Amino acid sequence: MGRSIWGLLGIVLLLIGAMAAKDRLIALPAPPAHAAPGQFDANRAVARLAFILGDQRPHPVDSADGDAVRDRLVQAMRGVGLAPRISDDFACNGFAHARSVSCARVRNLVAEIGPTSGPALLLAAHYDSATAGPGAADDGIGVATMLEIAANLRGRPLSRGVIFLIDEGEEAGLIGARAFLDRDPAAARVDAVLNMEARGVSGPAIMFETSRPNAAAVALYRAAASRPLANSLSADLYGLIPNSTDVNVFKARPWTILNFAIIGNETRYHSPGDRVEALDRASLQHMGDQVQAVTERVLENGLPAARGTRLYADLAGRALIALPLGFGLLLLGILLVFFALTSWRRGALGRPLAAVAASLVGGAALAWLGQFAVGLIRAGDYWRASPVVTTSAVYASAIVAALLAIRAIAPKAGRHRLRAAFWLAFTIVGAAISLIAPGGAIYFLLPPLIAALGIALGRGRPAIETGAALVAALALYVSFGPALGLFEVLLTDGPFWVFAPLGALMLLPWLIELPQLVERCRPLALPGAALLLIAWTAVALAPAYSEDRRQRMTVAYLRDGGTGAARWTLSGDGARRPPGFDWRREPLPWSPAKRWTADAPRDADGGAAPPTLVVLGETRTGAERRLRVRIQAPGADQVGLFAPAGSPLLAAGAPGFVQRFGRGDPDDPFVLGCGGRSCDGATFDIILRGPAPVPATLVATRFGLDIPRRPTRPPLAAPQYAPDSRVLFTRLRL
């Protein structure tokens, strides 16, 4: 019994280690020390980026620092042989799924090479940064990639035009992309777009979004990329979340679109840590190699004529598998029926199937309990510095749940029945996911197909079925393991327990091959509890933050322009609040979102004037009325006009650029936002339904917080998503 326990423990630790190492299957090589002529050179690209960013200050839309970055960018573009022209628009953009309209003055940089007529390929990135960071990755990686490709194309005879768009205002609401699409004549020539983005500073460049239907885009990427990293599941899931890039604007045209991004270490994203020295050169090289390869493929062969929708996934970044959506769904249905019949014939529809189901549910339950227990003694994102410790505990929970479920529910089932039950459950999960995200079917085809062939060919020859089962388990690890690692990175804020069932799907095929060993280990509950205690204790003791992965904390000073009441606010994960203040949770005056707040002295900001709104005119057309207003907010870096959820606002924007409000969630307020210096004195049109006055709040934000006795952040905390700011607001009626 003792040796059995130690043997089982060794296998369990090996499986946990394999889960921790799954993302290493797509490790990127370092950039070459000396690139060949015409080859993408990440070292040369990052040197240009360092020149463009200068002293690496944040340079949001329509700011003085943005002007300086743009001037150096123009120099860099001319240095690689481009002749950029600068547009100038006060533009607005709305979102179909959000109750917001964003406006700003944007200066796009556009350059063209090759033929000046006929279809053209658009390479797109943005040069404005988020308000809290210098944007070396977001979107310096796109700018650096584009300039290096331009340098490599210089002097070549080109079969079609290439348009380089480096726009402004992406971070403020995709405004530069909207101005290009609606106002720039070059947009009329575009038939394909390669967009470059970042949500971190490291990791591989993922091709995470395509035009729909996607057959042409996938065929192009598959033919060009030497180290592809893409899958149709992430593309479908991305379409279900509110995140956006300039591609959200470009999708209005029937263009062939590929969207690339790196996502490693999100803790530096939109923060002061997004610096040149933090940008992984291997990530930049991977981005450049892929985008340059696709560019050259389009220039040599044009766009593929493929039609329809494809399922696709890479195999550890070495090859891309693609097949028609209809064929994939049909194959998944056939596999489901095959394993249902096999399970019925083997008597696996009862206890064996229940044991598999209990493994999936039990793994999620144990992981949730572990995360909940640690959360009782640790506030905030306690996994931020070392997420692999938390994910390892999650997968340890999945393993323990699976072993206990097999022992308790189907101890005598044997491998042949447990295999059939597992692959039936696996295909059922695949079918369920495909109802929400059809692209997910790609991960539920190859491994069960191998297992099915083993069952069909192994009748009377158990070794064949066993061998196929192990190959299927390995295929599942190689194909889905790296994708699961990327999903962990995407959900960096948790909850991590949701990965337990997905991990169980990868682990169960290996555990199923151990029924005799599990049977010999009679005291299974006690060792399982000990393993969980050790795993989650490690989570509780691991450092929450580090120099590289800091706590998210932004401090703001809020003052009511009417009453003069003031308070400090914190946005972040809520852990380790600055001492010396009576912190409490309460909503903002213009939003139901709650933040930590504390009383602050009045006029600590020097008594700056609050923003005002002047109604210039009002017209009525039937039940609608149009207000023309001017916003006055001297010194403001951002302005927002907020109306409560349920308000009868229909559209808003600058004259000539009015955009409709999207659907949004029922509790979302309506927001007309404006970024940059030009918001002070800007004129806007607002369209409402009905004659009743609408309450609203006008909010002006000035970046920086040079105020005495302000809350002091802990040493390993930094602002993220928004800088420390002074915020003044005024209540009014529209």
Residues 6-64 pLDDT 10s = 777 788 889 999 999 998 888 888 899 888 999 999 999 999 999 999 999 999 999 99
546 located within any domain: no
| SS3 label, residue 285 | helix
Secondary structure letter of residue 627 according to DSSP: E
Q: List all residues 6 or more positions away from 649 whose beta carbon is below 8 Å from its beta carbon.
A: 99, 643, 661, 670, 686, 687, 688, 694
The pLDDT value given to residue 532 = 93
Considering only residues 491 and 83, tell me which one the structure prediction assigns the higher pLDDT: 83
Over residues 402-408, mean pLDDT: 90
**91 and 224 together in one domain:** yes
Q: Which of 264, 291, 315 is the last residue of a domain?
A: 315
33 located within any domain: no
686 located within any domain: yes
Question: Residue 638's pLDDT band (boundaries 50, 70, 90)?
Answer: very high
Token code pair at residue 124 = 């797109």
Interval 446-486: pLDDT, tens? 999 999 999 999 887 888 999 999 999 999 999 999 999 99
What is d(CA 69, CA 53) in angstroms, rounded to the nearest whole number?
A: 6
pTM given for the model: 0.94
Cis status, amide bond into 213, omega within 30 of 0: yes
Checking if the pLDDT of 144 tops 50, the result is yes
What is d(CA 263, CA 283) in angstroms, rounded to the nearest whole number?
A: 10
Closest CA to 82 of 134, 123, 138: 123
Sign of the CA dihedral 28, 34, 40, 45? positive
Token code pair at residue 300 = 């040599």
What is d(CA 359, CA 501) in angstroms, rounded to the nearest whole number?
A: 8
Closest CA to 143 of 34, 59, 227: 59
Checking if the pLDDT of 495 tops 50, the result is yes
Beta partners for residue 105, in sequence order: 90
Interval 59-102: pLDDT, tens? 999 999 999 999 999 999 999 999 999 999 999 999 988 999 99
Q: By percentage, how much of the chain surpasses pLDDT 90?
A: 83
Interval 298-333: pLDDT, tens? 999 999 999 999 999 999 899 999 999 999 999 999
What is d(CA 355, CA 344) in angstroms, rounded to the nearest whole number?
A: 15
Over residues 616-629, mean pLDDT: 93
CB of 444 closer than 8 Å to CB of 426: yes
Closest CA to 644 of 587, 589, 696: 696
Closest CA to 355 of 294, 412, 303: 412
**580 and 706 together in one domain:** yes
Phi, psi of 219 (to 5 degrees): -60, -40
Domain that holds residue 233: 39-315
Beta partners for residue 290, in sequence order: none
CB of 234 closer than 8 Å to CB of 214: no
**470 and 342 together in one domain:** yes
Q: 7, exposed or middle or buried, with CB in 10 Å at 0-12, 13-18, 19+? A: middle
**307 and 418 together in one domain:** no
How far does CA 562 lie from the centroid of its chain?
A: 39
Token code pair at residue 622 = 């039937």
**341 and 307 together in one domain:** no
| SS3 label, residue 571 | strand
What is d(CA 649, CA 696) in angstroms, rounded to the nearest whole number?
A: 11
547 located within any domain: no
**263 and 339 together in one domain:** no
Radius of gyration of the chain (CA): 28
**640 and 673 together in one domain:** yes
The pLDDT value given to residue 574 = 81
Token code pair at residue 227 = 């180290």
**426 and 337 together in one domain:** yes
Sign of the CA dihedral 45, 47, 52, 58? positive
Q: Where are the beta strands (DSSP E) in 96-234?
A: 100-106, 109-113, 120-126, 161-167, 190-198, 206-210
Interval 420-431: pLDDT, tens? 999 999 999 999
Q: List all residues 6 or more positions away from 226 whose beta carbon is below 8 Å from its beta carbon.
A: 289, 293
CB of 324 closer than 8 Å to CB of 311: yes
32 located within any domain: no
How far does CA 137 lie from the centroid of its chain?
A: 14
CB of 657 closer than 8 Å to CB of 696: no
**517 and 474 together in one domain:** yes
Q: List all residues 6 or more positions away from 406 whose beta carbon is below 8 Å from its beta carbon.
A: 355, 359, 413, 418, 511, 512, 515, 518
Token code pair at residue 252 = 């209005």
Checking if the pLDDT of 519 tops 60, the result is no
Q: How many domains does the chain have?
A: 3
- Characterize 48-57 residue by residue with b for buried, 16 or more Cβ atoms within 10 angstroms of its Cβ, and e for exposed: bbbebbeebb
**513 and 622 together in one domain:** no
Token code pair at residue 590 = 């213009």
Total Cβ atoms within 10 A of residue 1: 9
Q: Which of 541, 564, 590 is the last residue of a domain?
A: 541
Helices (H), 277-381: 281-301, 325-346, 351-377
CB of 540 closer than 8 Å to CB of 378: yes
Checking if the pLDDT of 517 tops 60, the result is no
Closest CA to 317 of 197, 221, 220: 221
Q: 265, exposed or middle or buried, with CB in 10 Å at 0-12, 13-18, 19+? A: buried
31 located within any domain: no
362 located within any domain: yes
Interval 112-122: pLDDT, tens? 999 999 999 99
Checking if the pLDDT of 5 tops 50, the result is yes
Closest CA to 324 of 223, 438, 435: 438
The pLDDT value given to residue 492 = 85
The pLDDT value given to residue 523 = 67
How far does CA 495 lie from the centroid of its chain?
A: 15
Can you give the length of the chain in residues? 734
CA distances from 177 to 182, 205, 241, 248 (A): 9, 22, 20, 9
Q: List all residues 6 or more positions away from 439 whose beta carbon is below 8 Å from its beta carbon.
A: 231, 232, 233, 234, 235, 236, 311, 312, 325
- Characterize 297-329 residue by residue with b for buried, 16 or more Cβ atoms within 10 angstroms of its Cβ, and e for exposed: bbbeeebbebeebbbbbbbbbeebbbeebeebb
**513 and 557 together in one domain:** no
Longest CA–CA separation in the chain, Å = 87
Q: Where are the beta strands (DSSP E) in 127-201?
A: 161-167, 190-198
Checking if the pLDDT of 1 tops 50, the result is no
Over residues 124-135, mean pLDDT: 97
Q: Dihedral, CA atoms, 280, 284, 290, 292, nearest 10 degrees?
A: -170
**371 and 304 together in one domain:** no
What is d(CA 40, CA 153) in angstroms, rounded to the nearest whole number?
A: 11
395 located within any domain: yes
Q: Which of 315, 335, 354 is the last residue of a domain?
A: 315
Q: What integer best gives the mean pLDDT of the chain? A: 93
CA angle at 437 for the pair 431 and 441, rounded to the nearest 5°: 45
The pLDDT value given to residue 4 = 64
Q: In what order do the strands lie in the sheet with 649-654?
A: 612-621, 624-632, 683-689, 649-654, 657-660
CB of 181 closer than 8 Å to CB of 243: no
CATH number reported for the structural domain that contains residue 234 in this entry: 3.40.630.10
The pLDDT value given to residue 3 = 59
Interval 166-212: pLDDT, tens? 999 999 999 999 999 999 999 999 999 999 999 999 999 999 999 99
Over residues 382-396, mean pLDDT: 95
